[in-house]
Each structure stands twice: as structure tokens, then as C-alpha cells.
Amino acid sequence: MNYRHAYHAGNFADVLKHVVLLALLESLKSKPTPFGLVDTHAGSGSYALDGVEANKTREYKDGVQRLMFPDMSRGATSMEALPPLLRRWLDSILALPGNESGLKLYPGSPLQVAHAMRENDSAQLCELHPEEAANLRELLRRDARMHVHARNGYEALKGLLPPPEKRGLVLIDPPYEAQEAEYVTIEKALKEALQRWPTGIYAVWYPIKQRSQVQPFLRNLRQSGAKRVLRAELLVHPDDSPLRLNGSGMVILNAPWKLDDALREPLRALARLLSQEQPAKWTLDWLLQEGETAATPLRQPVAPASPAGARPPGPRRHPR
């Protein structure tokens, strides 16, 4: 309850999370039938980058702001334009009210979802903090597709799944105030949710400080009952210190077909654009594919061969 995302809005972790979210939404929109989305930790929906909180940490400067002028990033050439998915994502942010003269507001997941959804899609947005929930409800009051619930998102899944549309996505993006305890809560919530809605897509954001904390969580998700589990990670610092956010990841249960293909070039570009003291590293691999079992040991990701995180095209089950 002490966490405020306004201090971190638009940072490198937000960029990864929201680019993956857009790829998922575009995959869902590839079919004409409507979909439903559930966001378990929705936040307030919009964050002022010139506000007190954002300017105290200025994390957005090493995140979304670096994508504004990609040709000025280190090592960039005129041929390295943003991949189409990144371009669409950035354009959607700049098209929001308040950003007419430049990037002033960073939209949270609910506002980005509202911008991407069609008229017949819907979203259920859960936020436990009373002030954040009130701000979110005010922000979306004129959008009949968006429904705000001031309640615990994990508990709400019991009543919200499956959605009326019978297809869609659950986004789980908690603050991880107690990281290892949060992992246990997520694992339990996912197992119960998959029993209610086994065909749903579940996307979970997670922080990376020490790799040893993350590995058991990912290993357990392979045993959640999902048919496919895809991992996308971005590290801007070595994953060996508990004192800062070194990277983040998105793990997608029942990931849509070809989602890995949609994310490969954007991840490669993000590693180049968001590198800090040393080259960033990215990982995109299947932790579990359809027909496999969770018995295969989970391997740790290793540094890619090139400084920019480049890897040859094609599916990868585990990092070499």
C-alpha cells in the first residue's frame, strides 16, 4: 500500500511491460470476436512526467524518453529506425491528450489498453489503493468499456474469470513490496485462475534484482497448468545485486502463436536503446511449449553474443 508508481512511470521496466502488452492486444485483435481484459493492479492510469514524483527519480529519462530520439542513442545509425511495434506503441502514447506538444504524461496500462481496444472489447480494472482507484475511475468515467473495481485484484479473479467474451488476457503487475511473498501469491492465483479459465492468456510482470530469486518463480510457473510459457526479459545491469532494479521480465502463460516473432526485433532494439553503463541484455525463450512437460530443467539465461543482444532469428526453447 506504500508503493506509488508515479515515481517509476515510464522507466525501462514500464517500456518492456507495455510493449509486450501491445503485442498481446494486437494478437487478440487479429480475430474479429471481442475479448476481455482483467488488470489486477491497475494503478491510477496516468502519470505526469513533470510532476514531483517523476522528477524526484527521473527514471523515465532512461526509459521512454530514450525512444523519442532513437537516432541519438549510442551506436545508432540512420538505418536503425524503431521496429514497427515500437513505433506504434510510441505513437499511441504521443497521441494521448496532454502530449500534443511532447511527452508530458505517461499512460499506465489501463489507458494504453483503452487506446488499443475496439468498441466491443472490455476491461475490468482492479486497484486496491483508494486514492489510486478514485483517480482511475475519474480518468475513465466516460468510457463504458472500462470498469474499475476498488478491490484486491487476486481475489477479484475468482468472480471475473472467465470474462463474458470467453477470450482475452489477464495482466498481473503487482508492486512486489515483498518480492518472494508476492511470487507465492501469484503462483496460487494463477493455478486457481487456470482452473476457471484454462484457455485465457496470463501475462505477469516481474522485477529482476538477483537471478536466484527469480528462477524458482519461473520454474513453478512451468507447473501452473498452462500449455505454453514464454519469457521476455531485459537487463540493464547485472542480475546479482539486491540493491536496485537490474532488469525486468514478462512471462506469458498460454502465449499466442507467433508472439515470440512479434517481440524479437523490439527486444533487440530496446537492448540497444536502453543500455546504461554497459550493454543491456535481452532474453526471449519458451520455458514451456505445447506437448512438453515441466520436467526439463530451467536454465539460466546467458549473455547474447553481440553487445546489443542480437540473436539469430527462429524459435528458441532455452538459452544456450
Among all residues, which ones are annotated catalytic? 173
Q: Which three cell numbers stand for residue 149?
A: 473495481
Residue 176: partners with Cβ closer than 8 Å, 6 or more residues away? 182, 206, 207
DSSP for 210-259? BHHHHHHHHHHHTTSS-S-EEEEEEESS-SB-TTS--EEEEEEETPPTTH
Closest CA to 85 of 223, 299, 263: 263
Paired residues of 123 in beta bridges: 37, 146
Q: At what angle do helices 84-94 and 12-29 cross, to 10 degrees?
A: 100
Q: Give the containing element (helix H, strand E) for 149.
A: strand 146-149
How far is Cα 283 from Cα 152, in angstroms, rounded to an integer?
Answer: 31
Which amino acid, 233? E
Burial 110-137, CB ≥16 within 10 A → b, else e: bbbbbebbeeebbbbbbbbbeebbebbb
Contact status, residue 147 vs residue 123, Cβ threshold 8 Å: yes
How far is C-alpha 205 from the chain's CA centre?
A: 5
Residue 149: partners with Cβ closer than 8 Å, 6 or more residues away? 124, 125, 126, 127, 133, 156
